[in-house]
Amino acid sequence: MPKILFSTPCQPYPTQFNNVSLTDASSQRFTQQQDIFTMSGHMHCHGTHLIAQNISAPSIFLEYPTWDYFEKEVRKEYDFIGITFFQTCMDIVLDMCRMIRRLSPHTKIVLGHYGALAFNAFFPEDFKREHADYVCIGEGVSFFRQLLGEAIDAPIEQRQFPRCSDNLPWLDKHPRGAVGFVVAGLGCPSACDFCATTEMHANERIQLYPPDKLFEEIKRVYQTFPETMGIIIYDEDWLKYTEEVRELGRLIQEDTEFGLRKINFVAASSVESLSQYAWDELPLTGFKATFIGVESKFAPTEGYQKRAGEAKDTIHQLLSRGITCSGGLMLGFDFHDRVNILEDINYYIACEMTNHQISRVSPFPGTPLWHRLKEEDRLYDIPWVDQSFYGGGMKYRNFEPHELESLTLEGYRKFYETWGPTVMRLLKVELNGYEWCRASNNKLLRQERAGLHQETAQMLFPMIRACEHFAPNGLVRRRIRQTQERYIKLFGKPRRSQEVMSYFVLAEAFRAKIQEAIDPRNRHPKQEPFKVYIYEKNGQGKNGAPYKVLYPVRDRGYEFYQAWRGIKEGALGKLMPFLDKDRIAEAEESPAISSSVKFKLL
């Protein structure tokens, strides 16, 4: 068997625009500029796990390694070392390649992911040969199977990918994985000229998992981790594939173990793909959150097919049915001038998304946009660390780069000063979903999906006090109070445990605010913990994870935090039912209270 090592780039990573972490999407983009309510989270490199799970050879995957550990592994003389990376880390990866060439000359180097597309497009042939043996652009499982002489069309399996999560760091600094992950397909046929994904898969989509297999894995996640909050179904625009979505929805509806009461998924969509559905059918599929690339109000008339339709109306239709929306706006298109760019930002804010992403048009090497700008002599030679969502690297038609940077910050700030913290936007959408489901003629929505919204709203309620106290202005404070009144109208006065929790959160918010004044969080962009995943292929994973995880670098701060969190949760776990004992007894006796409400109270 060949010896295989996979790795991400070695840490530390460069920071991004505005000194944010490269790997923390919540603070980097989705909740940026929300004062102490900016969230923080972690993601895993699922593409590499997918490859490791679907080749016969055992392998080791270093996720966010240190240089020392990577060097130690390189000296073991693997047959293949595969490095997955974003182009932002190009300089780190080139150094890793040089180290491999020096310490283990017979090892074959494979580069993959977006960074590989950039590497392939940017460097001359002799430089590429000097640093790598293979460049994997596109679907990685078949690529590796072919490389290793395995059957390319053997079935693909996915099992218990590492889970991700986010939270307010002053409430939980290291949130445990709460969201599962499964891949439906790769690539996208929409062919936006700035998009590296569509380019990597030659403007096509490859289905990796049909709905029955998705459902099987989703169920396994909920069975293994009953506290699972949802599942990310990875596909660039999964809602495009109506038959798959409807079939998964049917399986979820028929499921008697979890059904719509528990199972819900996040999937990327587009204005175009969503237009294929009647709005009311979407919650019945288990669809509960999405990312929509709005890009620009003017995108439909500027040749972006996925935006055919009215983005604001689409997003409002989803929000009113309890489906949360993240969305992306891009600044710096050639059609943007100093007037219509403000119109674009205001349109985007009017969409009222729960999370937001404002980025700059950036020519990622290898994309059609990059090729066009190269021909037009409009590419800047910028460092690789600035090749990101927020980067530039191009001469904008009507702007200096710094103008777009300040417009980005202004857009984020306006969003926060108009709609408040993401946690409050989420609560509002949960209330929408509850009201809408309760008013529905459909029994599953009334009894199951409504219960899911209620449970999430109850969980978010204790955040209200702190959000109201530290609201950025009166406009937002009033909106938060209105949300609170609505909550009470729907669910009655909060339980004693919720009140106590809300004071606890407020006290923690004061602490965070003081900390922010003395030593802002932005001074310490997050680096990820280093993990080693061992895929031994010895039958492991038939009933659990197909890998073992090691933490080679001991972090005493993290160990202390875990122990302290355990004590805190244990104490709260005992205190809360005690505080609510009257309500629990009432719920047990009252046949009028639905089983879902009882479930939550208990």
Q: Which residues bind ligand SF4 (CB under 6 A)?
A: 188, 190-192, 195, 197-198, 236-237, 270, 293, 306
Minimum separation from the CB atom of position 272 to ligand SF4 (A): 8
- Rounded Cα distance, 189 and 204, in Å: 5
- Which CB atom, from 270 or from 285, has the smaller least distance to ligand SF4? 270
Minimum separation from the CB atom of position 293 to ligand SF4 (A): 5
- Which CB atom, from 239 or from 471, has the smaller least distance to ligand SF4? 239
- Rounded Cα distance, 431 and 439, in Å: 12
- CA 275 vs CA 41, 296, 310, 318: distances in Å: 31, 18, 10, 11
Minimum separation from the CB atom of position 267 to ligand SF4 (A): 12
Minimum separation from the CB atom of position 121 to ligand SF4 (A): 17
Q: Which residues of 64-100 are buried (b: 16+ CB within 10 A; e: fewer)?
A: bbeeebbeebbeeebbbbbbbbbbbbbebbbebbebb
> Residue 81: CB partners within 8 Å, gap ≥ 6?
4, 5, 6, 7, 74, 100, 104, 107, 108, 109, 110
- Rounded Cα distance, 324 and 229, in Å: 14
- Rounded Cα distance, 408 and 188, in Å: 27
Minimum separation from the CB atom of position 367 to ligand SF4 (A): 9
Minimum separation from the CB atom of position 309 to ligand SF4 (A): 13
Exposed, middle or buried, 343 (CB in 10 Å: 0-12/13-18/19+)?
Answer: middle
- Which CB atom, from 188 or from 361, has the smaller least distance to ligand SF4? 188
- Rounded Cα distance, 124 and 126, in Å: 6
DSSP string, 439-481: T-S-HHIIIIIHHHHHHHHHHHGGGHHHHHHT-SSHHHHHHHH
Minimum separation from the CB atom of position 189 to ligand SF4 (A): 7
End-to-end CA, the chain:
52
- Which CB atom, from 271 or from 463, has the smaller least distance to ligand SF4? 271
Minimum separation from the CB atom of position 298 to ligand SF4 (A): 15
User: Which residue do the tokens 């009655």 mark?
Assistant: 492
390 touches 22 (CB < 8 A): no
Minimum separation from the CB atom of position 16 to ligand SF4 (A): 19
- Which CB atom, from 23 or from 198, has the smaller least distance to ligand SF4? 198
User: Which residue do the tokens 């990597």 mark?
Assistant: 200
- Which CB atom, from 186 or from 248, has the smaller least distance to ligand SF4? 186
- Which CB atom, from 188 or from 464, has the smaller least distance to ligand SF4? 188
- Which CB atom, from 189 or from 541, has the smaller least distance to ligand SF4? 189
Enter the DSSP assignment of 547.
S
- Which CB atom, from 198 or from 355, has the smaller least distance to ligand SF4? 198
